[in-house]
Chains A and B, each alone.
Chain A
């Protein structure tokens, strides 16, 4: 009895679970506050399309719902940046820069941009809000992107791409 459980926990969660769970609760709380105040389920990826309406005449980006929400979506995104900065300078351990290779950010970013718009949402819209709403559409989307992401990440690792 003794030993096995802590060993398993150490293997699965080498960095503990406290900050993960607490961070997750706050992510949910931020979403919940906006929902209770405004009735809006705020996903993070619609910002991409609604912001494009400032610079593109394509009717696709200038649908009424995007133009009507583009200002507060910019405010929402800047607040996310500020919230993360606030953590970094208070409880965090300083500014941090990733070592992941830039081409992975470039190619991955384009695919994420295309994918969220085809699939009507991302990790926050489907993963947090949709799953929270017990939406079958969101469960399917999350299961799909999770499986594919695991496959691609494992493939990269097997090919020796690191980080």
Chain B
């Protein structure tokens, strides 16, 4: 289903969900890189309650929705589990992501929320994320091309 087929109700739900998501990120202080770095340096373990609290809610809601065997009212999509397949990229990506998170104290959702708390220097990090996502896409496109031509190096 494309964006064009999606109605006002769909956008309103996305807006409501995004507002609450961003409000929660600001309230939890996860939008502040210093707080994330304090957690990673074992100075304040509060972040465990942020991720734990969020996962408890999604875990409960996802499980109940799945059991209902119902469908989402705005798209007709069923509430099945959407699991991402496992391969070595999940680990490689985790290592690279973790290095960036540990260096900067910022991850994508928290970075967007950080803009909302007035933290304008975070735009540097968001710009960096776009550069990183672009480089990764470019690299994969190149690799797919060379594989298709049968010239992949050992």
Q: Which A residues are within 8 Å of any B CB, using their own CB?
A: 12-17, 19-45, 47-49, 51-52, 56, 58-61, 67-72, 75-88, 91-92, 94-100, 102, 104-124, 127-138, 140-157, 163
A88 to B77, CA, bound (A): 35
The contact string, 1 if C-beta is below 8 Å from chain A, for chain B 1-34, is: 1110010011101111111111111111111111
A149 to B37, CA, bound (A): 9
Q: Which B residues are within 8 Å of any A CB, using their own CB?
A: 1-3, 6, 9-11, 13-34, 37, 40-59, 61-62, 65, 71-79, 81-86, 89-122, 124-138, 140-141
A83 to B120, CA, bound (A): 16
CB of B68, distance to nearest CB on chain A (Å): 10
CB of B55, distance to nearest CB on chain A (Å): 5
A153: chain B residues at CB < 8 Å are 37, 40-41, 102-103, 105
CB of A145, distance to nearest CB on chain B (Å): 3
A56 to B112, CA, bound (A): 22
**CB-CB under 8 A for A98 and B33, given A25-B24, A84-B114, A122-B108:** yes
B13: chain A residues at CB < 8 Å are 33-34, 37-38
Q: Which residue of A lies closest to B57 (CB)?
A: A28
Number of A-B contacts (CB under 8 A): 534
**CB-CB under 8 A for A105 and B128, given A82-B116, A100-B104:** yes
B18 engages A78 (CB within 8 Å): yes
A150 engages B40 (CB within 8 Å): yes
6 residue pairs, one from A and one from B, having the closest CB atoms: A119-B93, A113-B132, A109-B128, A23-B28, A108-B104, A79-B18
Tell me which of B32, B49, B84, B108 contacts A45 (CB under 8 A): B108
Q: Which residue of A lies closest to B19 (CB)?
A: A83
A95: chain B residues at CB < 8 Å are 117-118
- Main SS class of interface, A: helix
CB of B36, distance to nearest CB on chain A (Å): 8
A113 engages B129 (CB within 8 Å): yes
**CB-CB under 8 A for A86 and B23, given A28-B56, A108-B128, A147-B98:** yes
B117 engages A27 (CB within 8 Å): no
CB of B7, distance to nearest CB on chain A (Å): 11
**CB-CB under 8 A for A38 and B77, given A77-B18, A97-B120:** yes
A110 engages B84 (CB within 8 Å): no
B128: chain A residues at CB < 8 Å are 105-110, 112-113
A120 to B97, CA, bound (A): 11
